[in-house]
Chain A
C-alpha cells in the first residue's frame, strides 16, 4: 500500500516512466485493433524489430561521430529518427509488395524479422558503447524518461489518438470492405497510407520508450482479449484501451514493489488478463 501511495504521489521520482507506460497502454491497443482485424499480427512482430534495427544503427552512427546535435541529447533524437525512418521504409515496402501480391506475406514478414534482428545484433557488436542502452530497451526497462521526451510522446500519441478517433469510420470501412468504401467515395489508398503512417510512428516511438517486446505486447494482447469478450466495435475499442491502461499501471506497481523489469511484468499481466478472459468466456459459454 505504501508503495502504491508513493507511485501516485506527484513527486514520485519515476513518475515519467509511469506516465509513459500509461500512454503506451492507452494508445497502442487502438492501433493494435487494426493489426488484429486486418490480420497483420505477424507484422506486429517484425516492425518493432525493424525499429530496433533503426535505433542500433543510429547508436552506431553516433559512436562513429556522425550526429546532428553537439551534445549528449542528440543520441536520443538520432535513435528516434533511425527508428522512425527504418520503420516507415519497411512498412511502406511491405505494403506495396502486399498490394502487388508479390510472393507470400508470411515469407516477406519472416524475412524482415530475421534480417532486422540480425543487423540489430551486428550494429550493436560494432558499437559496444550503445550495447547497454539497447539491452535495456530489449528488456523493456522503462526507467529514465526526460520531461521533454514525455511531452513529445504525449503530443505524438495524443495526435495519433485523435486521428484514430476522428477518422475511425474511414479506417474501419476501408479495412473491412475496401470495395464498398470506394463506392461511398473513400480514397482507399489514402486511408491505408495514413493508417500505415500511424502504425509506423506508434511503433518507432514506442520501441524507443519501452522496447520492442512491450510494444508488441501492448499492440496485440489487449485487442485479442477485447475481441474475445466484447460484442460490437465500440466496446471492442474501449475495452482494449482499458485493458492496456490497467496492465500498464499494475505492471509498473508490481515491478516497483518487487524490483522487476517493468516491460516483462506488463506483458505477463496482459497475458494473465487474456487467460482469465478466455477461461471466463469458456465457463460462460458452458453455463449457457
Chain B
C-alpha cells in the first residue's frame, strides 16, 4: 500500500454559518486507504465530509491535499436529497460524472460514452441504463450514484450513507460492490455511515464522531470499548 497522505486535516473546526459543530479535528488519510466515518445521526459526519470535499469551508484550521491541489473526488451523496422531478435516465445520471471534463458547446465524445457504459457495467446496471432513475429501487439508485462517482475518474471515492434506507439484501450487495471497486480500481475510499453493522472488518481507518468528539483508530475492535463506554454514558443504543 502506498503511504502518501492524500488528505490531511490540521486543527480543523467545521460547522454551518459560523456555528461550530466539531472542533480541533486532526487526522490524515493515506492513498489507497479505506476509511469509515461513523457516529449517530446529527453528530456532524456529513458536515465534516462536505468540508473535506470543499463544499463547505472550514471555520478554522487547514485542509491540505496530497499534491497541493484539490484531488479528483468521486462523490456519492445521500440519494434522498436528489429530487425525483428530474426525468433523467440512469445513463444520463452517470453521464453527469463526465461533465467536469467536457467543455461548453462540445458534444459528448464517444470515449466518454464508452467510459459511462464501462462504469454502468462495473456496478451491474448496464441493462437498466435506459430506465428512469426515479423508477429504480433504492439499491439500484445507489449503484447508479456510485457509477456516476466512478465516471468522474476519481482518486478518492467518498460515499455518504450509501446503505441507509435500503433493504438488507441491497445493503449487502452495495457493500460487496464497494469492496470490489476498492480492490479493482485501487481507490482511496471514505464512507460515512451511522450503521455499525455495515462496517467491514478489513478497513484501514475508523473515525468515530459523537458528542463533539472525534476518535480515530485502525479498526472497530480498537475503538469498541471506547464506543461502548461513551454510548452507555449517553444512554445511546447501538445496533
Contacts and interface: CB of A to CB of B under 8 A. Distances in A.
A179 B75 contact: yes
A166 B85 contact: no
B102 interface: yes
Contact of A183 (B73, B83, B88, B132): B73
Query: 8 tightest CB-CB pairs across the interface, nearest first?
Result: A184-B100, A166-B105, A183-B75, A169-B99, A183-B73, A166-B104, A232-B89, A179-B55
Nearest to B148: A180
B100 A186 contact: yes
Nearest to B135: A231
Q: Which of B50, B86, B87 has the most CB of A within 10 A?
A: B87
A172 B96 contact: yes
B75 A167 contact: no
Interface string B138-160: 00000000001000100000000
A176 B77 CA distance: 12
Chain B binding surface, main DSSP class: loop
A186 B98 CA distance: 12
Task: Give the size range of A's interface with the partner.
Answer: 20 to 34
B86 A183 contact: no
Task: Give the size range of B's interface with the partner.
Answer: 20 to 34
B136 to A, nearest CB: 13
A179 B87 contact: no
Contacts of B74: 183
B92 interface: yes
A37 B70 CA distance: 30
B50 A37 contact: no
B87 A236 contact: yes
A183 B53 contact: yes
B162 to A, nearest CB: 14
